[in-house]
A = this chain, B = another copy of it.
Amino acid sequence: MTPEVGATVARLRREVAELHRELTRNGLVIWTAGNVSARVPGQDLMVIKPSGVRYEDLTPEAMVVTDLHGVLVEGDRSPSSDTAAHAYVYRHMPEVGGVVHTHSTYATAWAARAEPIPCVLTMIADEFGGDIPVGPFALIGDDTIGRGIVDTLRGSRSPAVLMAGHGPFTVGRGARDAVKAAVMLEDVARTVHISRQLGTPAELAPADVTSLFQRYQNVYGQERA
């Protein structure tokens, strides 16, 4: 690594460590079951959570660096068991700079039924641009999960995908955007679930969804490629 790349990696280690605290603060993860990664811009590298480490022990130094095939480049521990899925996303979606995986309760409840979250709230239109889609059931161990994520996200404006029988993955221009999407996802998954328990909320008109999405992405400067 050049000194410049080393400095960038050091910054991303701090950022990714801090963002894991957002997962616990927002109630998205228990024990060690969730992970955040960030692409090292311009490099075939990413910073990701090590496997099986408790959130209170996730210091910047505890993070690991791998290449975009999940091979360890820097760090003492083995990378997250979900590293292959993160790496596949970075290899196939160059506009993505951050990936988050959780088993947050309500998003996972929709994923268990393999049911998309319908766009019935302005907040869903703003952040997700329509229904939040479902990806295929896939076993861990090869590129099946990564391919399911990428194929599903490419057919949608949503930064979130509900992997069937498993849980959500979210992406963003950077790791912070991906964490924001994970937080918003769980929030709308919960609200729509609760609303649906006592009736059927109306879906927003497609033109309104597009109008809200375009306005929100511009106002907040978060356009995605």
Residues of A within 8 A of B (CB): 26, 30-31, 33, 51-52, 81, 103, 105-106, 108-110, 112-115, 120-123, 139-141, 165-167, 180, 183-184, 187, 190-202, 204, 208, 211-212, 215, 219-220
Contact = CB atoms under 8 A, between A and B. Distances in A.
A218 to B, nearest CB: 11
B187 A105 contact: yes
A204 B165 contact: yes
A208 B30 CA distance: 24
Given A109-B192, A139-B211, 13 more contacts: A30-B184, A103-B191, A105-B194, A109-B195, A112-B195, A115-B198, A121-B165, A122-B167, A139-B208, A139-B212, A140-B215, A165-B201, A193-B197
A195 B113 CA distance: 7
